[in-house]
Amino acid sequence: MGHASAGQITDVRATYLLPLRWSDDRDLAELTAYLAGMPEWAEVIVVDGSPEPLFEQHAAAWGLLGRHLRPDPALVTPMGKVGGVLTGIREAATEAIVIADDDVRYDEPALARAVSLLGLADCVRPQNYFDPLPWHARWDTARTLLNRSLGRDFPGTLAVRRSSLLAAGGYDGDVIFENLELMRTISAAGGSVLSQLDLYVPRRPPSTEHFLSQRVRQAYDDFAIPARMAVWLAALPALTLALSRGRRREATAAAAVSIALAELGRRRAGGQRVFPATASLFAPLWILERAACSWLAVRDRLTRGGIPYGDDVVPRAASSMRRLRGRFANGSRPAGRDGLPAGGAEADQLVGSVAERLPARGTAAA
CA angle 161, 130, 128 (to 5 degrees): 20
pLDDT tier at 351 (50, 70, 90 boundaries)?
very low
- Comparing CA positions, the residue from 124, 59, 76 lying closest to residue 97 is 124
What was the pLDDT predicted at 310?
80
Indicate the pairing of strand 307-309 with strand 312-314.
antiparallel
Tens-digit pLDDT profile for residues 309-339:
888 899 999 999 999 999 999 877 675 565 6
- Give the model confidence (pLDDT) of 269-278 as tens digits: 999 999 999 9
* pTM confidence score: 0.90
Determine the pLDDT at residue 311. 81
Flag whether pLDDT at 354 surpasses 60: no
- Whether residue 215 is predicted with pLDDT greater than 60 in this model: the reply is yes
For residue 267, what are the CA distances in angstroms to 50, 280, 339? 40, 11, 44
Quick check: 7 pLDDT over 60?
no
What is the predicted pLDDT for the residue at 286?
Answer: 98
pLDDT tens across 165-208, in order? 999 999 999 999 999 999 999 999 999 999 999 999 999 999 99
Query: What's the rounded Cα separation, in Å, for the pair 364 and 347?
Result: 21
